[in-house]
Chains A and B, each alone.
Chain A
Amino acid sequence: EAGVAQSPRYKIIEKRQSVAFWCNPISGHATLYWYQQILGQGPKLLIQFQNNGVVDDSQLPKDRFSAERLKGVDSTLKIQPAKLEDSAVYLCASSFSGAANTEAFFGQGTRLTVV
């Protein structure tokens, strides 16, 4: 089966610019996660969706970050305006059902560099 697809793979922007990342989860997966992984650290959960509803977004900096999952399939994560400290790899993952706690499959990630 096809894996989790993310785009773009790499992005370089200047601070204060905006950027958007796209994720297409594995077909049939109800749960979608966005993580921020700063170099040398573990993935930090930004937002978790169950279908098109938000399970948790407590760690999402809502003054600059937003995410949506229209129709409960694809998802986009946006940063506006970007700061230097947003430089990281943004990982999208999906699982069959968060409630049943099954394996989360990760995409390749988007490496963001803010200069």
Chain B
Amino acid sequence: GENVEQHPSTLSVQEGDSAVIKCTYSDSASNYFPWYKQELGKRPQLIIDIRSNVGEKKDQRIAVTLNKTAKHFSLHITETQPEDSAVYFCAAQKGKLIFGQGTELSVKP
């Protein structure tokens, strides 16, 4: 079945550094790739998304890149801040919305 693999499972960076989270997907028909941020005890919330007809999208300190040929996409956070600390999930969708396993990001002051 469809699968989304996410790496790393944990990531620790110093404040101001960049963080990169990578995902691969199995269904080549997937055409929508959202990223969600989940703070402890809260609901997942969308932070950025990209569609298959676009290779890169940026929103302030957050950017996402998509390589359809390789079936992988990545989240880039620049100038990280302590409030960026959370669990981040990638997802891929054609019909079903399938999530990766999550990356716990810790930004140390």
Contact = CB atoms under 8 A, between A and B. Distances in A.
Interface of A: 33, 35, 40-45, 48, 55-56, 58, 91, 93, 95, 98-99, 101, 103-109
Contacts of B97: 33, 45, 48, 93, 95, 98, 104
B102 A101 contact: no
B contact patch SS? strand
B95 A56 contact: yes
B102 A41 contact: yes
B96 A42 contact: no
Contacts of B31: 101
Interface of B: 1, 4, 6, 31-32, 34, 42-46, 49, 51, 89, 93-102
A101 B51 contact: yes
Nearest to A56: B96
A98 B43 contact: no
A106 B95 contact: no
A43 B99 contact: yes
A31 to B, nearest CB: 9
